[in-house]
Amino acid sequence: MARLTRRHFTMGAAAAGVTTFSIGGARAAEFTYKFANNLALTHPLNKRAQEAAEKIKDETKGRFELQIFPSSQLGSDTDTLGQIRNGAVDFFTLSGLILSTLVPTAAISGVGFAFENYDSVWKAMDGALGNFIREEIAKSRQIFAFDKIWDNGFRQTTTSTKPITSPADFDGMKLRVPPAPLWTSMFKAFGAAPTTINFNETYSALQSKVVDGQENPLAIIDTAKLYEVQSFCSTTNHMWDGFWFLANRRNWDALPKDIQDIVAKHINAAGLAERNDVAALEKTLREQLISKGMKFNDVNATAFRDKLRAAGFYTEWKQKFGDQAWSTLEASVGKLS
Ligand code: X2X
């Protein structure tokens, strides 16, 4: 009953445009913004976002509250992309590849074997390539991306059937890939049979054997407990993937400048901290996942890259992305096609 009364009071007060007070006496935030993501609470992305939320609340003296919805609680990535565009969600972390269904060139950072290591990733994504993609995202007018892209990691291949030791092991393999044309194209080029499935349905698709494998960084294989339904992990390192921290343009513009500055400062700093966390995890998780029963093997990346080249993957995507985008990528990472 108390809850009902309070809810009515809050709604009435909000409708009347006056500041609301909760029953405990703590003042409700003036701005409550929703941040959606597809990762478990235990992933560094959510830990760092939580820390940022606390710092933002402190520094805005409670005026701004960042509400975090992990684990696709507000819907799949495909659904949430719709919600960040129309403003039902205020912030969303999304892979550039999935974002490419709205901003085609955002997928370019996911070209197979483009980045050799983290040094080349951050040089490109904090430099010319990242700037180019952020400008393309901003052109959508509905959304924009914060300065610092967050890390997902270098993607590895897991299966329940057999290890991937050479490209031939991909032949006809039923693999889950995220919903993005570049992913489907790449795994077809490897010879596999990719199926697009949103991340929030991936565990159950693996468990019920709708697909035999998937590919994700170790931090996700661990925090999403994919080791429970996958036996082999082959360190294919076929792609680096990151999460753009996206904001709905209209809702962002509705914030006072001083609050915008505080939010952006803490979000970007949290992104940098998250990058370090993920890099550290990539060094230690292999042993942990082995102790949880996964069998690891390393591969010769050259054979996989040659397979993509022979299948015409680079030629096709160079043409799709266009000369400007492709030369921006090659200026950062060297010649690809
Ligand atoms: O869907 C995936 O595999 C994930 C979690 O890595 C992305 O968000 C692209």
Alpha-carbon Rg for the chain in angstroms: 21
d(CA 289, CA 222): 7
Per-residue model confidence (pLDDT) at position 18 = 44
Fold match between 6-95+140-151+242-280 and 154-240+283-333? yes
| Cβ 236 under 6 angstroms from ligand 1 | no
**pTM attached to this predicted model:** 0.92
Tell me which residue has its CA closest to atom 9 in ligand 1.
Answer: 95
Averaged over 128-146, what is the pLDDT?
A: 97
Q: For ligand 1, pick from 187, 199, 278 the residue to mutate: most ligand atoms within 8 Å of CB.
A: 199
216 in contact with ligand 1, CB cutoff 6 A: yes
Q: Note the pLDDT tens digit of each residue in 170-180.
A: 999 999 999 99
Q: How many residues appear in the chain? A: 337
Confidence tier at 257 by pLDDT (50, 70, 90): very high
d(CA 159, CA 173): 9
Instruction: Confirm or reject: Cβ of 178 under 6 Å from ligand 1.
Output: yes
- The yes-or-no verdict on residue 99 having pLDDT over 50 is yes
pLDDT, tens digit, for every residue of 50-95?
999 999 999 999 999 999 999 999 999 999 999 999 999 999 999 9
Burial class (CB in 10 A: 0-12, 13-18, 19+), 268: middle
Distance in Å, CA 155 to ligand 1 centroid? 10
Query: Residue 337: its pLDDT value, please?
Result: 73
Q: Domain spanning 6-95+140-151+242-280 has what CATH number?
A: 3.40.190.170
Rounded distance, CA 76 to CA 202, Å?
11
198 CA closest ligand 1 atom index: 1
In the chain, where the domains are located: 6-95+140-151+242-280, 154-240+283-333
For the CA of 39, the closest atom of ligand 1 is: 5
Residue closest by Cα to atom 6 of ligand 1 = 216
| Residue tagged 């370019």 (tokens) | 108
Q: Is residue 107 lining ligand 1, measured as CB closer than 6 Å?
A: no
Looking at ligand 1, which atom is closest to the CA of residue 178?
1
Q: What is the full DSSP assignment across 137-190?
A: HHTTSSEEE-SSPEEEEE-EEEESS----SGGGGTT-EEEE-S-HHHHHHHHHT
Cα of 131 from ligand 1 centre, angstroms: 22
Q: What is the pLDDT of residue 320?
A: 98
CA gap 318, 337 in Å, rounded: 8
Largest CA distance in the chain: 68
Tally of CB atoms within 10 A around 123? 15
Sign of CA dihedral 235, 188, 119, 272: negative
Residue 233 makes CB contacts below 8 A (sequence gap 6+) with 156, 157, 158, 218, 221, 289, 294, 295, 296, 297
Q: Which of 34, 54, 50 is nearest to 42 (CA)?
A: 50
Ligand 1 lined by 156 (C-beta under 6 Å)? no
Angle in degrees, 0-180, between the axes of helices 323-333 and 118-125, rounded to the nearest 10 = 140
What is 154-240+283-333's CATH number?
Answer: 3.40.190.170
Q: Which of 237, 231, 210, 227 is nearest to 163 (CA)?
A: 231
Report the pLDDT value the prediction gives residue 23, as an integer from 0 to 100: 53
